[in-house]
Chain A
Amino acid sequence: MSEIVVNRGILSKVVALVSSMLLVLTISGSPALANGTGWAHANCNDGWGSDATGDPIPNWARSDAKSYATGALHEGYQWGGGCWNLDDSDPKNWDPTRDTETHGEGPDCSGFTFKSWALKYNGNPGFVKWERKDYQHGPYPTGSYANPETDWQFKMFKNKNNRKEMDAFVLSGVHIGFVYNLGTTQGQDTILEAKCEACGVIRGPQNYRGDPNWLGVKREGWSSERNTCYGDCF
């Protein structure tokens, strides 16, 4: 599915909105999990499409997001997905790539971001807890993260050196990954990302910060950490 680059014109925004909606319908699969033989049919809750399937929650701190996202580590990857369990494996990790209908275990990178950031479908402030067993992707492909609307709950930041944990680096139309830990001795960052069908969700050093095509995007409105926070934490 090719990505549409959005400029600031109204017509472009309308096109982008329609495209996003179409992309959501496409990559989320329609009908949902009612039919098919993929892993998700037997193991996931069919609940995509609206806020009603998520649980509104009052707080979501960066540490909550980090803990939630870490649970997906070593699980599978599914384009347009998805949901996952906690068994550190993917029963069908060599499924055909870029096929939303295989309904295997795991999220893709943009769906992983949506669920971990506890975003709402309508872009409103606040948090929705998406259970990991909800087959959810959310309405945002990577192009949306790379060029968000002004009223959405995530924003770009220019100087990638100012990244914080659970901010993300995004390459429009390609990929998005979380900043898991700042800096490595070799000048990279530890990135947590839903990488590929054969890879699953992985964690390790990546050079995204130093590549000019990769942009920094951060969620807005994080809750404060409930424990002691040192200095300029979030």
Chain B
Amino acid sequence: MKRIGRVVSPLLTRAHPEGWSILERMSGRRFSLSITVLLSLLTIGIIGTARAQQSEEDPPLASIYVATSGAPVVVSPGIPAAQVDFPVTCSIPSTDPEGDPEPCQLQARVFFKAQGETWRSLSVDAVPGVSIRVVLPVPNANWVDYYVEVIETQTETVVYFPKDGEDGPLRYYIEATSQIHQLAATPFGSERAPTSSFSLGWGTSNGQVGMVGGDESQRIGPQALDVTDEGNIYLLDQMNQRVQVFSPSGSLLAVQTIPVGPLGDLVLEDDDSSYFVLDRLPAGPGSPPAIHHFDGPLLLPEGVSVGAGSSLTPSVPSPEEEPVSLRYTDGIVYTYGTPSDGWRPAMTDRNDLSEVPAFQITMPADPTGIEGATILRRVRFDSMRADVGLVGSTDGGSPDLESRIGLEPSSGRYFGELALVEPTPDGGFLVVIRTWTDQPDLLAHHEVIRIDGNGNVVDQFAIAHSEYAAAAPLSLFRLGGTGDLYELWSDSSGVQVRRFDL
């Protein structure tokens, strides 16, 4: 009522300097006091009714989560259609804060456009808790763009994936299968040892790394590393809320205290003078993620706090999106997240995003001599195929698939995570991919493959470990500024930073 009064009273009171109320000035007539009171009550009634109607007509929005990891990337020409199921979950929050969510009713439509054609649309089946089934044509074109509209009919919640107008559509390329490599399994015991490595024990002292005990004996250790052009290693030791910098031989160079949560990622800026940290949980469970940018020289006295630096809010397409990884290339910070399962430029105050191509299912990279190109990567959900491609255009036109390879595991093996994909100057690729088997007596390991611009495998070796321990992350890889491959490996005794010359 107070708010209504604040709206109504200027209309009716004779507060105007000339002694006229607003309504009187609008009508050109002065009102008697009784008329003024009557009009006041009438106006209050109208506004109050409108507000009541508004609150009754505004049901809570449904929470819709769609995973796009099943989206096709490359399809063969001549097949009748490309079909993919996108898992979808949906719930309507209860108006009772203590109540359980309500089930949803969904409708969905796919909008698609083949190269050279106009946008079209089709209705598609959507079952909450199961999937949205999208069936798309395979025309005589190089690619098809598409996005999906999902409507929860009871709440009239409408979502798009990808988010229309900001992230660009999904895309699949139409190209005949070529250059499929079935990887020969590296015999166990023939793995390549690192060129150099150093170890850090668990702990809170400088030169140690922190870990947290979760369930039973789970360990959660450092989440990320990046390497400068000189080979110095930045290690995100978030459990101790700090970044530690080590020389190539493992000597501690600097420690910077930073306020971060337990999970995140780190990436150096191009000139190595600053770095970005993705902070997934800056204020604990449920807190929105942040990207911190810490300026500062590489070498600082130990223990110097640098404060929060500048903080950025990652651009996310929906409230359900959760960024989990960072990349930095061409002056832009990208985040990778779920459920979009793709990379997108983060909103920063230093970057002009107007020229950034924003395609899903692409990983931005910094290929030498190919400006504006991006890397295409995908492991099929059945673990039996990995596709890697280079998407780019040197003529300023729409990006096309310029080169592509397919990888298949050797007999009896499967693919796990595609840990690293980098283009090489000769137009080929460097790929690090885990291979595993369901035979319990055989180990899994990461295969490192170099493929030249002609599609020939020029080098392949495996990286294995004697102990697959309970620490998380199990291992992660980065291509350092030196051009060598770096691995952060965790086990029961601590972490190892390992370098493999390429």
Q: Which residue numbers of A lie inside 8 Å of B, CB to CB?
A: 1-3, 61-64, 66-67, 70-71, 74-77, 79, 85-90, 93-94, 97-98, 106, 108-110, 141-142, 158-161, 165, 171, 173-176, 181-188, 190, 194-205, 207, 209-213, 225, 227-230, 233
B136 interface hit (Cβ, 8 Å): no
Q: Among A109, A204, A207, A228, which residue has its beta carbon within 8 angstroms of that of B474?
A: A207
Residues of A within 8 A of B31 (CB): none
Is B128 a contact of A227 with CB atoms below 8 Å? yes
Closest 6 A/B residue pairs (Cβ): A210-B416, A200-B285, A63-B129, A183-B381, A187-B379, A88-B286
Is B285 a contact of A212 with CB atoms below 8 Å? no
Interface string of B109-123 (1 = CB under 8 A from A): 000000000000000
Give 16 new A-B contacts, CB below 8 A, not counting A63-B130, A181-B87: A3-B217, A62-B129, A67-B129, A70-B65, A75-B285, A90-B285, A90-B286, A93-B285, A160-B438, A175-B214, A185-B69, A190-B67, A196-B262, A207-B417, A228-B130, A230-B85
Is A201 a contact of B285 with CB atoms below 8 Å? yes
Is B216 a contact of A1 with CB atoms below 8 Å? yes
Assembly CA distance A197 to B215 (angstroms): 9
Is B69 a contact of A67 with CB atoms below 8 Å? no
B287 interface hit (Cβ, 8 Å): yes
Q: Min CB distance, B490 to chain A, in Å?
A: 12
Closest residue of B by beta carbon distance from A112: B215
Q: Min CB distance, B116 to chain A, in Å?
A: 27
Q: Min CB distance, B408 to chain A, in Å?
A: 13
Residues of B within 8 A of A70 (CB): 65, 89, 91
Residues of A within 8 A of B212 (CB): 97, 196-198
Closest residue of A by beta carbon distance from B436: A210
Residues of A within 8 A of B473 (CB): 207
Residues of A within 8 A of B338 (CB): 181, 184, 190, 203-205
B281 interface hit (Cβ, 8 Å): yes
Q: Min CB distance, A134 to chain B, in Å?
A: 13
Interface string of B266-302 (1 = CB under 8 A from A): 0000000000000011001111000000000000000
Residues of A within 8 A of B125 (CB): 228
Assembly CA distance A161 to B416 (angstroms): 10
B227 interface hit (Cβ, 8 Å): no
Known: A74-B286, A161-B438, A165-B87. A207 touches B416 (CB 8 A): yes
B339 interface hit (Cβ, 8 Å): yes
Q: Which of B101, B213, B284, B338 has the most CB of A within 10 A?
A: B284
Residues of A within 8 A of B416 (CB): 187-188, 207, 209-211
Assembly CA distance A76 to B125 (angstroms): 35
Number of interface residues of B (CB under 8 A): 73
Main SS at interface, chain B: loop
Q: Min CB distance, A217 to chain B, in Å?
A: 14
Assembly CA distance A203 to B380 (angstroms): 20
B226 interface hit (Cβ, 8 Å): no
Assembly CA distance A190 to B89 (angstroms): 14
Is A174 a contact of B474 with CB atoms below 8 Å? no
Assembly CA distance A51 to B367 (angstroms): 60
Is A210 a contact of B130 with CB atoms below 8 Å? no
Residues of B within 8 A of A175 (CB): 214-216, 218, 470
Known: A109-B214, A175-B214. A94 touches B284 (CB 8 A): yes
Assembly CA distance A212 to B217 (angstroms): 18
Q: Min CB distance, B221 to chain A, in Å?
A: 12
Assembly CA distance A190 to B351 (angstroms): 30
Q: Which of B69, B85, B382 has the most CB of A within 10 A?
A: B69
Is B281 a contact of A200 with CB atoms below 8 Å? yes
Is A75 a contact of B286 with CB atoms below 8 Å? yes
Closest residue of A by beta carbon distance from B93: A86
Assembly CA distance A207 to B440 (angstroms): 17
Is A67 a contact of B101 with CB atoms below 8 Å? yes
Assembly CA distance A160 to B214 (angstroms): 24
Q: Min CB distance, A114 to chain B, in Å?
A: 13
Is B263 a contact of A202 with CB atoms below 8 Å? yes
Is B468 a contact of A213 with CB atoms below 8 Å? yes
Is B281 a contact of A199 with CB atoms below 8 Å? yes
Q: Among B87, B127, B379, B442, which residue has its beta carbon within 8 angstroms of that of A186?
A: B379
Main SS at interface, chain A: loop
Assembly CA distance A175 to B128 (angstroms): 29
Residues of B within 8 A of A174 (CB): 215-218, 470
Is B379 a contact of A185 with CB atoms below 8 Å? yes
Assembly CA distance A77 to B214 (angstroms): 9
Of residues 373 to 423 in B, which have CB atoms within 8 Å of A's CB atoms? Answer: 377-383, 386, 414-419
Residues of B within 8 A of A184 (CB): 69, 338, 341, 379
B229 interface hit (Cβ, 8 Å): no
Residue pairs across A and B with Cβ atoms less than 8 A apart, 24 shown, are A67-B89, A76-B284, A90-B285, A173-B217, A174-B216, A176-B215, A182-B70, A183-B383, A185-B73, A185-B341, A185-B418, A187-B379, A187-B417, A187-B433, A190-B67, A190-B69, A194-B215, A199-B285, A200-B284, A202-B280, A207-B434, A210-B434, A227-B129, A228-B130
Known: A161-B383, A210-B416. A181 touches B215 (CB 8 A): no
Is B415 a contact of A181 with CB atoms below 8 Å? no
Residues of A within 8 A of B280 (CB): 202
Known: A175-B215, A204-B324, A205-B324. A212 touches B436 (CB 8 A): yes
Q: Which of B85, B125, B130 has the most CB of A within 10 A?
A: B130
Is B70 a contact of A183 with CB atoms below 8 Å? yes
Is B91 a contact of A93 with CB atoms below 8 Å? no
Q: Min CB distance, A199 to chain B, in Å?
A: 5
B100 interface hit (Cβ, 8 Å): yes
Closest residue of B by beta carbon distance from A185: B378
Q: Min CB distance, A194 to chain B, in Å?
A: 7
Residues of B within 8 A of A196 (CB): 212-215, 218, 220, 262
Assembly CA distance A97 to B417 (angstroms): 30
Closest residue of A by beta carbon distance from B377: A185
Is B130 a contact of A227 with CB atoms below 8 Å? yes
Known: A184-B338, A187-B417, A211-B474. A97 touches B284 (CB 8 A): no
B224 interface hit (Cβ, 8 Å): no
Q: Which of B73, B98, B216, B381 has the most CB of A within 10 A?
A: B216
B131 interface hit (Cβ, 8 Å): yes
Q: Min CB distance, B152 to chain A, in Å?
A: 14
Of residues 437 to 492 in B, which have CB atoms within 8 Å of A's CB atoms? Answer: 437-438, 440, 442-444, 468, 470, 473-474
Is A198 a contact of B261 with CB atoms below 8 Å? yes
Residues of A within 8 A of B262 (CB): 196, 198-199
Residues of A within 8 A of B361 (CB): 185
B133 interface hit (Cβ, 8 Å): yes
Assembly CA distance A6 to B152 (angstroms): 48
Residues of B within 8 A of A79 (CB): 215
